[in-house]
Structure 1
């Protein structure tokens, strides 16, 4: 009897516990349902309010008597061509005062103060202030509200009168301003957390200021600093819109033009060589291998192979500006997997010094032209990348590799090449001792030279090779090439190169070869060290390294 009562009590207790759990679950589910419903109702309410506000806004725009003075263009689809004339900000001067002009640019910055709107419109690295004030028959209150809704970086057309304020304008590069009459959006930008104006403001803080513990940087600025660095890879296009990047690539373009024009005047001709070449060394450490219709091939990692063949084709002096590919792992501040080489090759009469002199005069000419013709661009870059004044002397300091080792305090024959650390050390020593940032090192060890480089007669462990250095790094390298087929073949075998893969090249040399030499200037390296940018990626439009292939 007692056992029956105990079992009955146990069952009742279990039923009570089960009912309690069911109740709690149902209660929890009901509570969750209520919360979900409340959240849905709230979202519906917000959506309805947004729709109502949008309807009110559309109605306000339609009711505005001055609505013809602003709005969004339809998509430009080449349906018509008018006689409108768009003016460049850089061309605005006193001759435009009081005249109605039309400009197109990006909305760089925007401030709304009461019934006034102050817009900064940007074209490349130039910008101008545009002022919109509420006034009868021109600007309405609704128009000011509409302007406020334009996102930064949107492309806009501005119609207005040019004027020159008595007070200097500190927020724009132009000292003129435009009194707004009409404004139209050509292309709207999506909302950006930080516009180009914000990025430029933050980037003007030097790394020293950022890392200085004594300086107070507020949270928003810290976020912006991080964001500005992320823009380099996350949104490269926005970063390229900054005035510093605009200036850098205008300088880069001009250097190519100067290189080309200078050499053409000296009897060089421009050539274009293949960038897909047959592999001539198995497991070449710094080449990108590929299958070329069943043949082992690679992307060209040096341009001199075909340049030399052009010299032996009796072109005498040739040059080329084109891409060079190197399979380099890791990310350093001074290397890329794809870069632009400015290569020259020439017949020499007696000495490799003839090539060195040509390149030296060429670089001097480029440096002088940049200082004379691009002062504004150089100043813009210096605002964002502060640097010491470049020290260049003529005649250029020229020392041998052995002399460089002595300056470094190294024992000869214990160094095969100058790594980046020793380059920096040597540059500091030379800057202090010789008061120059531009110098040449010649006759590098054979073991670190290319198999095509000709060996020194007096010192067979060294070659007639040379490198040009600017500030803390190498910007160019070259050599006198070996024009003797027998010794060239011997050197190739020492490097483990399959002779059959370079047979056509050796055949060319065997048909009677002019003594010749050449040099390749790394364009991005030249920009990096000339402007002291700290990172070579700032000199590359869309850089390629072992971690970056997109964009």
Structure 2
């Protein structure tokens, strides 16, 4: 059918439907037929039924603007163009890559450490330098996690009259782990921020500069290396553990994790507290040689090397020099913090080729219990002050590597070797009275002592003479025992020697 025939059929079908509707009859079939006719008409005629095939009507005539309206419109367009240009153009006074630090000018900026930022600094403005740990950016706002040492804080970049959108884009483009400077104002968040160490304050960023840009892709992400053991090792966890080889191959990155930063600070704190206490007791710090002509504790586990045509060894202990300084030179009380070298061909945590030793030596007046008292006070001083002065660092470590707080008594528990053997035997563990404790038995004894006495730390006294070095003094009341004490779980040891005149303990 042509268009004219279809148009006539549509008119006829429409009349039929109206008549049926007037008679209140069913028109479903007729309506369907009408729709089909209109569809066919559109195909043949090229336009809808009822629409004209002529050219479309002309658009309505645009309203003519007055001169005043034209001037206003031009100003608006100019302002929009300027704003767009400003948003897309780098402002060197607000953000960008900083030039190399060459100490050209004296310092003028006020920097504040992240660790000290809290709610008491609300409203204050200053500079912060740290690593960019993470950035989550949206078109008009970005959230940054800035890390300095073991401490982290949230920084917010929000578009405003003073903060262009380009600054937000720049922040998002900075490679993670780059060193950045931020000019900030402290704000109080509506709720504590749980993802950072600084919970009660956040930083509103006005300026941001990159001091040292990191590579876009790093061997490991600090955020991954810092993830809690609880999350990594949870059943069904999707998190992947950062392997030990990866950590050691990229140690400078691994050391950036808050937990490792805290561990390094606590390690430093142990040395500080060790010195503080011993200085207060009249001890003198000495520095003994580490290149020796012979072994100080037997030569089986020494590192040997050539020394200008002669043989020498790395010091495995400051033992002999401490005794000479203390007993023979009249210093009476000495200590040293220094490296120790042992040729221990082993892979256990109890056998290290190199470690830092904390050694002390003191003359005694009548009985080695004088030294036990000093040792007890020393360790309690260290433990108490670690808990008090390094609580934040302990909390940070606990977040990644959960642990139970150390339990200890004041004064320290002194357990006789015979009592320890009896405890092991009562628990069904084989242990001879005249033999040294094996590693499994040491661990088992530690658990038994904690259960019975409520302490992780204790001294073990009166070891069998046969398992101690030749210079160990026998117990005058029991020739098979020694005047010695040691704490096997923590690796602390001291003994009594005698040259006929002076007794020393080390």
C-alpha distance in structure 2 between counterparts of 1:110 and 1:103, whole Å: 16
- Tell me: CA distance 1:93–1:388, structure 2 relative to 1, closer, same or farther (3 Å): closer
C-alpha distance in structure 1 between counterparts of 2:102 and 2:259, whole Å: 33
Q: Is the 8 A contact 1:67 1:143 kept in 2?
A: no
C-alpha distance in structure 2 between counterparts of 1:94 and 1:406, whole Å: 56
Secondary structure (helix, strand or coil) at the match of 1:258 reads helix
The answer to whether structure 1 residue 337 and structure 2 residue 353 are counterparts is yes
CA-to-partner distance for each residue in 1:463-511, whole Å, 9 max, x for gaps? 2221124xxx233101001314xxxxxxxxxxxxxxxxxxxxxxxxxxx
Greater share of residues in helix: 1
The answer to whether structure 1 residue 86 and structure 2 residue 111 are counterparts is yes
1:315 counterpart residue number: 331
C-alpha distance in structure 1 between counterparts of 2:86 and 2:306, whole Å: 62
Aligned counterpart for 1:438 among listed residues 448, 452, 457? 457
- Tell me: CA distance 1:131–1:282, structure 2 relative to 1, closer, same or farther (3 Å): closer
1:351 counterpart residue number: 367
Which moved further from structure 2: 79-88 or 131-140?
A: 131-140
2:40 counterpart residue number: none
The answer to whether structure 1 residue 105 and structure 2 residue 145 are counterparts is no
Once the two structures are superposed, the pairs formed by residues 153-164 of structure 1 within 5 Å of their partners are 153-164=177-188
Secondary structure (helix, strand or coil) at the match of 2:340 reads strand
- Tell me: CA distance 1:517–1:382, structure 2 relative to 1, closer, same or farther (3 Å): same
Q: Is the 8 A contact 1:271 1:318 kept in 2?
A: yes
C-alpha distance in structure 2 between counterparts of 1:193 and 1:136, whole Å: 39
- Tell me: CA distance 1:61–1:466, structure 2 relative to 1, closer, same or farther (3 Å): farther
2:300 counterpart residue number: 285
Once the two structures are superposed, the pairs formed by residues 306-455 of structure 1 within 5 Å of their partners are 306-311=321-326, 312-409=328-425, 416-455=435-474
C-alpha distance in structure 2 between counterparts of 1:169 and 1:242, whole Å: 19
- Tell me: CA distance 1:163–1:474, structure 2 relative to 1, closer, same or farther (3 Å): closer
CA-to-partner distance for each residue in 1:206-256, whole Å, 9 max, x for gaps? 64x2xxxxx2222xx22xx1x254443121221211111122222221221
Alpha-carbon distance, 1:358 to partner: 0.8
Aligned counterpart for 2:480 among listed residues 461, 472, 497? 461
2:310 counterpart residue number: 295
2:98 counterpart residue number: 73
1:526 counterpart residue number: none
C-alpha distance in structure 1 between counterparts of 2:351 and 2:481, whole Å: 26
- Tell me: CA distance 1:138–1:114, structure 2 relative to 1, closer, same or farther (3 Å): closer
Q: Is the 8 A contact 1:348 1:517 kept in 2?
A: yes
CA-to-partner distance for each residue in 1:65-108, whole Å, 9 max, x for gaps? 63431111122122222311111123334453333321111101
Over aligned residues, Cα RMSD in angstroms? Answer: 2.5
Q: Which runs of 5+ in 1 are unaligned?
A: 1-59, 210-214, 485-512, 519-551
- Tell me: CA distance 1:431–1:168, structure 2 relative to 1, closer, same or farther (3 Å): closer
2:168 counterpart residue number: 144
Q: Is the 8 A contact 1:320 1:344 kept in 2?
A: yes
Secondary structure (helix, strand or coil) at the match of 1:452 reads coil
Q: Is the 8 A contact 1:128 1:173 kept in 2?
A: yes
Which moved further from structure 2: 84-93 or 340-349?
A: 84-93
Q: Is the 8 A contact 2:325 2:331 kept in 1?
A: yes
Aligned counterpart for 2:189 among listed residues 158, 165, 174? 165
Secondary structure (helix, strand or coil) at the match of 1:197 reads helix
Alpha-carbon distance, 1:376 to partner: 1.7
C-alpha distance in structure 1 between counterparts of 2:476 and 2:125, whole Å: 74
Larger Rg: 2
The answer to whether structure 1 residue 183 and structure 2 residue 232 are counterparts is no
- Tell me: CA distance 1:123–1:463, structure 2 relative to 1, closer, same or farther (3 Å): same
Q: Is the 8 A contact 1:483 1:516 kept in 2?
A: no
Alpha-carbon distance, 1:402 to partner: 3.1
C-alpha distance in structure 2 between counterparts of 1:138 and 1:103, whole Å: 18
CA-to-partner distance for each residue in 1:407-438, whole Å, 9 max, x for gaps? 22267757532222111111112122222222
2:18 counterpart residue number: none
Q: Is the 8 A contact 1:66 1:138 kept in 2?
A: no
Secondary structure (helix, strand or coil) at the match of 1:68 reads coil
Q: Is the 8 A contact 1:66 1:137 kept in 2?
A: no
Secondary structure (helix, strand or coil) at the match of 1:314 reads coil
Secondary structure (helix, strand or coil) at the match of 1:371 reads helix
Secondary structure (helix, strand or coil) at the match of 2:143 reads strand
Q: Which runs of 5+ in 2 are unaligned?
A: 1-84
TM-score, length basis structure 2 = 0.76
C-alpha distance in structure 2 between counterparts of 1:374 and 1:88, whole Å: 17
Secondary structure (helix, strand or coil) at the match of 1:251 reads helix
Secondary structure (helix, strand or coil) at the match of 2:210 reads strand
Secondary structure (helix, strand or coil) at the match of 1:354 reads helix
CA-to-partner distance for each residue in 1:340-368, whole Å, 9 max, x for gaps? 11111111111111111110111111111
- Tell me: CA distance 1:95–1:456, structure 2 relative to 1, closer, same or farther (3 Å): closer
C-alpha distance in structure 2 between counterparts of 1:159 and 1:275, whole Å: 48
C-alpha distance in structure 1 between counterparts of 2:224 and 2:437, whole Å: 41
C-alpha distance in structure 2 between counterparts of 1:65 and 1:396, whole Å: 65
Q: How many residues align?
A: 416
1:27 counterpart residue number: none
1:200 counterpart residue number: 226
Alpha-carbon distance, 1:460 to partner: 3.1
1:304 counterpart residue number: 319
Q: Is the 8 A contact 2:368 2:505 kept in 1?
A: yes
